[in-house]
Structure 1
Amino acid sequence: MSSPTLPPELLLLIVEAVMPPNPHLLFPASNTTTRTLLALTKVSRATHAQATRLLRQRCMFIDSSRRLANILLCMPRLVPSLPPVLSLQHISELYIAPFRDTLDDLPTAQWVRELFCEVSETLRRLVVQMPFASLDPMEDHLSVRQTLRDGFEKLHKLEEFTCLEEYPMLSVSNSHTDVWRLWPELKRMVLFGAPVDSHWLWWDIATLPKLEHVVLARPVHLDAVNIKDEYFHKLPPEDVRLKRDIKIVLMDLAYELGTVRTEKWQEIDPEEKMTVEAFEVPLSFYVDDSPLEVVTQWARRSALDGSIWKLGGKRVDPEDVVVGENK
């Protein structure tokens, strides 16, 4: 007598029950959720497709060059004996940190470019941690930066971008534009070490048509500019892009947040289309951690669970003069 089998509908409910209620969590390979989903791909035909789809969406966590190389090897593979499912080309959410201490690693850069080219049509959310500042453009004899830029430029469907620890400096001799400026669908963004006094930073933010939420972690030269003055005077007043609501969050340790200049904010932005908030990152329990390490660790954890877009910071009003202390 054959053993009784569960109906497919019940099996699919079991697969869904593996996922935590938070729909934004990204899981590393060692996580119990990832391992369980991987096991469910082998249980039956009914669970294979659903578990595979969830792995593509929620478990693409590349934290080494070796893992990156293995994913590329598996990219074209499907199991002939099982129903066709989404290939690895259908990744929609991704965490990637394949470099170690230096960006000067051409094979890894080429693999990053290849992966981004493969997933460019489906990738919507990207969390990146790369040592961008470790390779001076004058010493980039292998064109590593150009190789990486070629890959990043392909991500034209990206809606959410988080760049941890360092600013994504990928300008090259024939292309000085910030690479994130080339993504027309971008809605939410986290940048570390952004040069707040840069004309081009605010030009790029103002001209991206769908950008609505920007987190500037450990911003540089904050007290050198008036944020609203910079943003609202990059385009003609009647430009429709200035009519959208946009939120700017300044994120750092409390004692590291600098002066926020608010002169003429009511005159510049009478409809309060831009909201500016200051968020103080909780102090680490590890006294040896540098401010950058503390903020990076906190932002990484918050980016991977999606809570970074729900920060409850202190709103900066026109009457305010200073948030935190000068650096």
Structure 2
Amino acid sequence: MPSPTRPSSPPSSPSSPALPPELLLLVVDAVLPPNPLQLLPASHPATKTLLSLTRVSRATYARATRLLRERCAFVDSARRLADVLLCVPRLVPGLPAVLSLRHMTALYLSPFGPSLAADDLPTATRVRELLCEVCETLRRLVVQMPFGSLDPLDDGHLGVRRTLREGFEQLHRLEEFVCLGSYPALSVPPEGNTDVWRLWPELRRLVLFGVPMDSHWLWWDIATLPRLEHVVLARPVGLDAVNIKDEYFHKLPRDDARLGRDIKVVLMDLVYDLGVVRTERWREIDPEERMTVEVFEVPLPFYGDETPLQLVTEWARRGALDGSVWRLGGTRVRGEEAG
């Protein structure tokens, strides 16, 4: 009796050819929105996709990790702040070494609630720790913190403001600072009476809210920061009382090299809320028009119950996160004599 024949094994399916590493890296780069300045929250599809790509292969791991540090450092709660700090020193065993989280270059930081209290010291301490970790590489910082809600007299012995200031003081390489909603009031007399943003010599672009326009130190700091070239002052206070160019150009001797640079000042507020821009003697004060002054009026919505501060803050926030705040098409203000 013939032996039964062994069933033939099914033909093996040909393995799919692997994509070259160069193509894989192009796929990783294509995940992000085309705007290279846009900061993305954890909920954004691009952030989720990059996180998944860190688990695909060694080729995608390094590139996706680097892009997460450059474009997706979005700390918008106290819990996320604590998680980021836990991950700063960690690397994945068995995978190629990559830059740690302390090498992030851009950061959105909003770990507090609607108000800052004297018992927020643990979160303030974590803010200080994070800023100290990233200070060597951080170039762009967008913060939304209720600085003005904590009265110095209520800060007491815990020193929340002092703790925050110690962290911000470390950002000596920062080039762009956007402070949303409130002025970064972190002066701690007598040892820290200087505006903290004044301490960053590389600063080029600055957004501030609620600035007292008649402050001598505001214009002194703007004039003496050697690289500052673009300033946005949102919902400024007391605009009618000052002549901007007079204040700026008379803080230093006329032959000081810092006054020879071009600088742009944008005044940002709701329509009719801004006030009058005084322009007398501008041609005499600034004959070469080194300073450009523009007015940007935030449009009013057709409906909604947001306060003026909320409206302007949200407009500036969107612009800060995608970089469009530096491309605001405001109306240029000219001196009276210039017509």
Same-fold call, TM > 0.5?
yes
Per the alignment, do residues 50 and 320 of structure 1 end up closer, same or farther by CA in structure 2, a change over 3 Å counting? farther
* Match of residue 325 from structure 1: none
SS at match of 2:237: coil
* Equivalent in 158, 161, 176 of residue 177 of structure 2: 161
Q: Check whether the contact 2:281–2:336 (CA below 8 A) recurs between aligned residues.
A: no
User: Structure 1 unaligned runs (5+)?
Assistant: 322-327
Aligned match of 1:124: 139
Q: Percent identity?
A: 72
* Cα offset, 1:284, TM superposition: 2.5
Letter in 2 for 1:31: H
Partner residue of 2:11? none
Q: What is the aligned length?
A: 321
Tell whether 2:324 aligns with 1:307: yes
**Is 1:275 equivalent to 2:288 in the alignment?**
no
CA distance in 2, matches of 1:281, 1:288: 15
Cα distance in structure 2, aligned partners of 1:320 and 1:307: 32
Match 1:298 to one of 286, 304, 315: 315
The one-letter code matched in structure 2 to 1:274 is M
Q: Which has the larger radius of gyration?
A: 2
**Equivalent residue, structure 1, for 2:90:** 77
Which residue of the partner structure matches residue 257 of structure 2? 240
Report the residue type matching 1:107 in the other structure. P
Aligned residue for 2:233, secondary structure, equals strand
Q: Specify the alignment match of 1:30 in structure 2.
A: 43
**1:269 Cα shift?**
0.3
- Aligned-residue offset at 1:319: 2.2
* 1:64-143 pair list within 5 angstroms: 64-104=77-117, 105-141=120-156, 142-143=158-159
C-alpha deviations, 1:253-287, integer Å up to 9, x for none? 11101011111000000000000000011213443
SS of corresponding position for 1:215 = strand
Partner of 1:260: 277
Deviation digits for residues 32-64 of structure 1 (CA, Å, limit 9, x no counterpart): 000000000000000000000000000000000
Question: Once the two structures are superposed, what CA deviation does each residue of 1:227-268 show, in whole Å capped at 9, x if it has no partner?
Answer: 000000000000000000000000001110101111100000
Q: CA deviation at 1:2?
A: 4.8
CA distance in 1, matches of 2:203, 2:103: 19
Instruction: Compute the TM-score of the two structures, normalised by the length of structure 1.
Output: 0.96
Does residue 202 (structure 1) correspond to residue 219 (structure 2)? The answer is yes
Question: Which residue matches 1:11?
Answer: 24
**Residue 255 of structure 1: SS of its match in structure 2?**
coil
C-alpha root-mean-square deviation of aligned residues, in Å? 1.2
Unaligned runs of 5+ in 2: 1-13
Match of 1:316 in 2: 333
Q: Deviations over 1:78-113 (max 9, x none)?
A: 001100001001010000100002222000000000
Q: TM-score, normalised by structure 2?
A: 0.93
Q: Secondary structure at the match of 2:292?
A: strand
1:324 maps to none
Q: Give the deviation of 1:3 after TM superposition.
A: 4.1
Residue 58 (1) aligns with residue 71 (2): yes
CA deviation string 1:179-236 (max 9, x = no partner): 0000000000000001110000000000000000000000000011100000000000
Matches of 1:245 and 1:42 in 2, distance apart? 47
